[in-house]
Amino acid sequence: MDTMRITENNLAKCSSLSSLVTRRWRTKTFPARIRTWRPSPAGNRILTVKSVSSEPKALVTDSEQEAFSSVASNIKHHSEFTPLFSPDKFELPKAFFATAQSVRDALIVNWNATYECYNRVNPKQAYYLSMEFLQGRALSNAVGNLCLTGAYADALKSLGFDLESVAGQEPDPALGNGGLGRLASCFLDSMATLNYPAWGYGLRYKYGLFKQIITKDGQEEVAEDWLELSNPWEIVRNDVSYPVKFYGKVVFGSDGKKRWIGGEDVLAVAYDVPIPGYRTKTTINLRLWSTKAPSGDFDLSSYNSGKHTEAAEALFNAEKICYVLYPGDESEEGKALRLKQQYTLCSASLQDIVARFETRSGGSVNWEEFPEKVAVQMNDTHPTLCIPELMRILMDLKGLSWEDAWKITQRTVAYTNHTVLPEALEKWSLELMEKLLPRHVEIIEKIDEELVGIIVSEYGTADPDLLEEKLKAMRILENVELPSAFADVIVKPKDTPVTAEKNVEESEDSKEDAKTVVKKEEEEEETAGVKAEVIPEPAKMVRMANLAVVGGHAVNGVAEIHSEIVKTDVFNDFVKLWPDKFQNKTNGVTPRRWIRFCNPYLSDIITNWIGTEDWVLNTEKLAELRKFADDEDLQSEWRAAKKKNKLKVVSLIKERTGYTVNPDAMFDIQIKRIHEYKRQLLNILGIVYRYKKMKERSASEREKAFVPRVCIFGGKAFATYVQAKRIVKFITDVGSTINHDPEIGDLLKVIFVPDYNVSVAELLIPASELSQHISTAGMEASGTSNMKFSMNGCILIGTLDGANVEIREEVGEENFFLFGAKADEIADLRKERAEGKFVPDPSFEEVKQFVRSGVFGSNNYDELIGSLEGNEGFGRADYFLVGKDFPSYVECQEKVDEAYRDQKRWTRMSILNTAGSSKFSSDRTIHEYAKDIWNIKQVELP
């Protein structure tokens, strides 16, 4: 199909509400999917939303008041006829569900039209597989994308509610944790907005990661409750389910082909969530899988005999797969559950994709065309089992040869790398995988064998040490013997024997020396009463990142510096084999959710000064703000908008923590997953140092020396990540001390906002003035929150890491506070530390001593502070270089204070951050994926 890009010509402006809403269904527009609806009883009319790209304003005849009435009537209809609450009350929770169901009516029209169009046109479609989709609340985003915010605001007002309060009733979907899931959700928004045929696939976690509670003991975790009242956006597809198998054995069938039989079977059931594009009819799908066992697996006999737990064991084993995101994997049971989750996502999604391909192919299926119709993107290594699973389906179920199946798989699948941290490059126990997925291990072994052949062919056998090194680095199977076909490929020359004539006396002396050493060792062992320690064999592992690289046609990093590290370090050996496979796709965020909807004050200012709202779709237009950066009127409006957003956060902080903060203080924010490499510890130690220096001054000196700050933290530490939880505890202890110090007052506050999520971010980011992105250089793949902050006019302090590098280039070096070591210096700095040559700055020693003085309470911080000391050992030696960067960080924070005192300068920096953020729209990123990796074309609905 020919491509058509969204332009101003085919996007009607949403200025007229009645161009979007009518009081009857126009079923003739979608004859293949929409039923003919009979008129509803008076006062209970059904709402229809017309496509803004297909409904000319000239055809509008209904008045805006009729539109408001129609929306209100539809909300009332759902409160009465789609009830989830008692009929005698109409309060906020009920109003939210009725409103969401009303909006869903509108979405379903375009959703069904999108389905029908893709089935009819049969374009190549992209499928984005991710263990996380951190969506955020859907109501405000949906009405915004449909250009119905005003209609719903007025309709709810007529019913006695306001839209913001109703939207606030929606719980955040607990389907993700951090940047990985938020990126995936931004991508879905851009795919729909840009009219790309694409779907998302994930898992429907019943209890999410966890709900974070902050107590006097630090972080505590309880189950998320986001599904307790149901999810009004999802539609269960009872006719779409697939079997997913675990354990069992592999046998040969009567046709000579291998079959995977026996074991444990669960059923993956589809739950679909509509993803609307902005100002377009296109509404794509996020399909989430939930697992269950058939009712027949409930052992009624055992139940009636009193063995209640045993009777429901099969049901529980199936359902628990989708209970929790990232279940603890310290135990073997936890590891098995995580692997089950990953395989469930891959198997159910690929079965669904294959079934769709067969349906759209009609009577004759040509499997060679599969890569011409399907693109599968693996978001990190979690979905890597897609590779052996697609091979299994094609060979065992569809009858293809190994050669054909492998070509199809490699042309279909692509991999996005999100980390350079060794522990995050997933490895699975080969023993566990053999038990859980025996057929897949056979396929992986065959892929590994073919890879060994490629490596041997590339490097030859002349240098056995080099060949051994490359095989060790590149093989998919780690610590596993070479395949039998290559068992003798590494032959090292034997040592040259010593001739009898050479130094006979020296040889005899050596023998005597050796006898002495052996005798001494034996005496030591007898004295100790112990035997020599036997070193265990290293565990046999499956390296998922290597499998992802080998099995796909493209590998991309997510920021320029990260992609270079991927090529020069993480996968350098593979780059030498397949240089064309590797590319960069710098991340982006959707400007709809992350500025247009979450920051309406600033959005209106941008639109007024640029003269158009087109920047929401074409962020390049934000650059026009540069010419107004020094305009006093713009600066005044800019500061007023920031103040309004800060007042919202003042209320949030009071509600969540009980603390009262000054809205005139600088809002300094770090919100992200708690991890040592993200260096929340550096931030809080900097605050401690600031506090100490304040206490050393008189009141008048403090006022002159320091700018008032509210330092805000947010983020979750994984339940089993002990050091991260220590950091959370330390932050809250510091805050408790400083916030109750009457000498300091409003000059410094430290706030930890509990249970950080998307909705909290949508309040904090618009209010931010300084944001901290201070990871150890070379360790953050990209980051996306840095892009959101910059887009909202926040100034960043950070290292040259991830997307910080590109943000600094775009907004201007003078509008970014830079500190710290560079990525190419890190290895040498760690080596220097290991050799005992590092000399800490006196300020760093001073702040550690201050922490240990007991000023922040009776808690023992030795384990936390001890991680910053010593030169070697696990959990020691300051691996993340907090001490090295500390003096540079403190000096940079002094520059921040200096700049903030000059509000004209600061506001100019803020405006230029927004003006320079256009590159970081996820629309740009998705265009690049579509063109360079997926090879898909835009499809506009008729």
Q: Which residues are catalytically annotated? A: 418, 672-673, 678, 784, 788
Coil, helix or strand at residue 480: coil
Residue with tokens 């080099």: 466
Q: Which helix (H) or strand (E) holds 275?
A: strand 264-276
Of 798, 848, 843, 842, nearest in space to 820 by CA: 798
Q: Give the type of residue at 610.
A: I
Please tell me what DSSP assigns to residue 921.
B
For residue 749, give the nearest of 690, 681, 704 by alpha carbon.
Answer: 690
The dihedral formed by the CA atoms of 301, 306, 308 and 311, expressed in degrees to the nearest 10: -20
Give the closest residue to 589 by CA, choosing from 807, 293, 842. Answer: 807
CA 766/CA 751 separation, integer angstroms: 17
Angle at 773 between CA 688 and CA 192, to 5 degrees: 145
Task: Return d(Cα 548, Cα 384) in angstroms, integer.
Answer: 6
Place of tokens 């796909």: 552
| Residue 807: closest CA among 837, 780, 831 | 780
Smallest Cα–Cα separation from 380: which of 411, 343, 426, 412?
Answer: 426
DSSP one-letter code for 589: B
> Kind and range of the H or E element at 772?
strand 770-773
Q: Residue type for 461, please?
A: T
Q: How far is CA 315 from CA 291, 295, 296, in A?
A: 9, 8, 10
Residues 552, 384: Cα–Cα separation, whole Å:
10
Structure tokens at 140: 């405000």
Supply 562's token pair. Answer: 């990260």
Which run of H or of E encompasses 695?
Answer: helix 680-695
Are the C-beta atoms of 545 and 552 separated by less than 8 Å?
A: no
Using DSSP bridges, classify how beta strands 264-276 and 541-543 pair: parallel, antiparallel or unpaired.
unpaired
Burial string for 511-531 (b: 16+ CB within 10 Å, else e) reads: eeeeeeeeeeeeeeeeeeeee
Written as one letter, the residue type at 484 is S
C-alpha torsion angle, residues 371, 375, 379, 383 (rounded to 10): -50
212: amino acid identity, one letter: Q
**Which amino acid is residue 195, in one-letter code?**
N
User: Rounded distance, CA 606 to CA 914, Å?
Assistant: 9
Sequence letter at residue 869: E
Q: Helix or strand or coil: residue 900?
A: helix
The beta strand positions in 279-347, using DSSP E, are 283-292
Concatenated DSSP letters of 842-868: HHHHHHHHHHHTTTT-S---HHHHHTT
> CA-CA distance, 595 to 125, in Å (whole number)?
29
Q: What is the largest CA-CA distance in the chain?
A: 114
Residues in the chain: 942
In 413-463, where does DSSP find H-type helix?
430-436, 438-459
* Backbone angles phi and psi of 285, in degrees to 5: -125, 135
Residues 392, 394, 400, 405: what is their CA dihedral angle, to the nearest 10 degrees? -80
- Whether 113 and 119 have beta carbons less than 8 Å apart is answered as no
Number of other residues whose CB lies within 10 A of the CB of residue 903:
12
Angle between helices 758-767 and 632-657 (to 10 degrees): 140
In the beta sheet, which residues pair with residue 428?
542
